[in-house]
Amino acid sequence: MDYFLTEEQQMIKEIAAKIATEKVRPVRGELDESEEFPWEIMKILAQSDLFGVYLPEKYGGLNGGVLENCLAIEELGRACIGVATTYAASGLGAYPILLHGSEEQKQKYLPVIASGEKLAAFAVTEAGAGSDAGSIQTTARRDGDHYVLNGTKQWITNGGEAEIYTVIAVTDREKGARGASAFIVDKNTPGLAFGKKENKLGIRSSATREVIFEDARVPAENLIAREGMGFIVALKTFDHARPGVAAQAVGIAQRALDEATHYARVRKQFGHPISSFQGVQFMLADMAIAVEASRALVYSAARMIDSGVKDIAKASAICKTFASDACMQVTVDAVQIFGGYGYMKEYPVEKLLRDAKITQIYEGSNEIQRNVIAAHLLKESAKGTGE
């Protein structure tokens, strides 16, 4: 399908696709096996100006938005989402600053993120606070011209590798949802430490670590927006970043479809290519429908967000949920088309199936996304504004 991309958007897609094909695909298996952090590839993405595609020109970016970010993520995801998520998580860490930061904070942090000189990360989740982000325990206590942070964030993508952390911590427990605040924490802050790299089912080259604060003193000027705005910052950040998770899902699913189509043409049983059997053809057709519908939904949600409309939570949740569920099904079907070979590590589809699962879980599980979608539907219906 033609999505009528602009010349710049087409260029971003092509550059990301070239890096994915030439630099990521040859090492994807090795990165998956060794769990090595893909620094070499991050350097190549930085040299190609891809880290700033969604950032304004005045902060060193290419002046694009969520759609440009999604195009780059999708192409990288076609090769390896361990790499794509590492790239995307830097954007996730940057969004709180882009959306709610002061001019000084933007000037200080966004250009080094746009150039790829420094990676960013976003830290909300804790051992006891996943879907229920409102129950985070990490605290930030004001002490003169600093805040003192204490607590442990869990499963933070780019944890230990990023130089810049945007963090949600409780500043006033009495105030409930209005008692959390967002901070920028530099990696070299005394009192900031990291746990071991997690051993994961998929996206194995990406770094997932605890981020630990023990009396970490953060300058008060690193508070994002105002005290009490933490969850608003987090919600808006996820609304802008979730289409990126959906784009990862589209990338994986497209690759699974390509691999399965090729395999179906070359694998012969009963004296014929398995692609001649209608049971296999229907599976391929359903996979193609799922991939294209996901892509269309992701691009249109991204365009809607980039248009500046205010209420984007439902569209963002819908594209993430649909694309990640579709991706899971498509990768399961791809393994089915490969039969027993699909179960073997020598073939590409088993990694795709393992990688697909995370897109249904992170940046808000699909059950939580369905809660968000339903809440919006009911609110719109009550107001008489539903479609």
Ligand X SMILES: Cc1cc2nc3c(=O)[nH]c(=O)nc-3n(C[C@H](O)[C@H](O)[C@H](O)COP(=O)(O)OP(=O)(O)OC[C@H]3O[C@@H](n4cnc5c(N)ncnc54)[C@H](O)[C@@H]3O)c2cc1C
Catalytic residues: 363
State the Cα torsion 8-9-15-19 to the nearest 10°: 160
CB of 229 to ligand X, least distance (A): 17
Q: Which of 90, 205, 208, 359 binds ligand X (CB under 6 A)?
A: 208
Segment near ligand X (CB under 6 A), from 40-48, 189-197, 243-251, 366-374? 366-374
Q: Is 364 in the site for ligand X (CB under 6 A)?
A: yes
Q: Is 369 in the site for ligand X (CB under 6 A)?
A: no
CA distance linking residue 152 with residue 127, whole number of Å: 8
Q: 54 vs 338, which CB is nearer to ligand X?
A: 54
Q: 107 vs 131, which CB is nearer to ligand X?
A: 131
CB of 63 to ligand X, least distance (A): 26
CB count within 10 Å of CB 326 equals: 26
Q: How many CA atoms lie within 13 A of 186 on its CB side?
A: 13
For the chain, the straight-line distance linking the first and the last C-alpha, in angstroms and rounded, comes to 26
Q: Is 207 in the site for ligand X (CB under 6 A)?
A: no
What contacts 24+ positions apart, CB below 8 Å, involve 197-202?
Answer: 197/35, 197/160, 198/155, 199/35, 200/358, 201/354, 201/357, 201/358, 202/81, 202/82, 202/351, 202/354, 202/355, 202/356, 202/357, 202/358
Size of the site for ligand X (CB under 6 A): 22
Residue type, 61: G
CB of 223 to ligand X, least distance (A): 19
Angle between helices 366-383 and 313-338 (to 10 degrees): 140
Q: 142 vs 197, which CB is nearer to ligand X?
A: 197
| Exposed / middle / buried, residue 255 (Cβ in 10 Å: 0-12, 13-18, 19+) | buried
CB of 209 to ligand X, least distance (A): 10
Per-residue mark of binding to ligand X, 151-170 (x: CB under 6 A): ----xxx-------------
Segment near ligand X (CB under 6 A), from 4-12, 46-54, 286-294, 358-366? 358-366
Per-residue mark of binding to ligand X, 68-97 (x: CB under 6 A): ---------------------x--------
Residues 99-138 that bind ligand X (CB under 6 A): 121-125, 130-131
Residue numbers at the binding site for ligand X (CB under 6 A): 89, 121-125, 130-131, 155-157, 200, 208, 358, 361-365, 367-368, 371
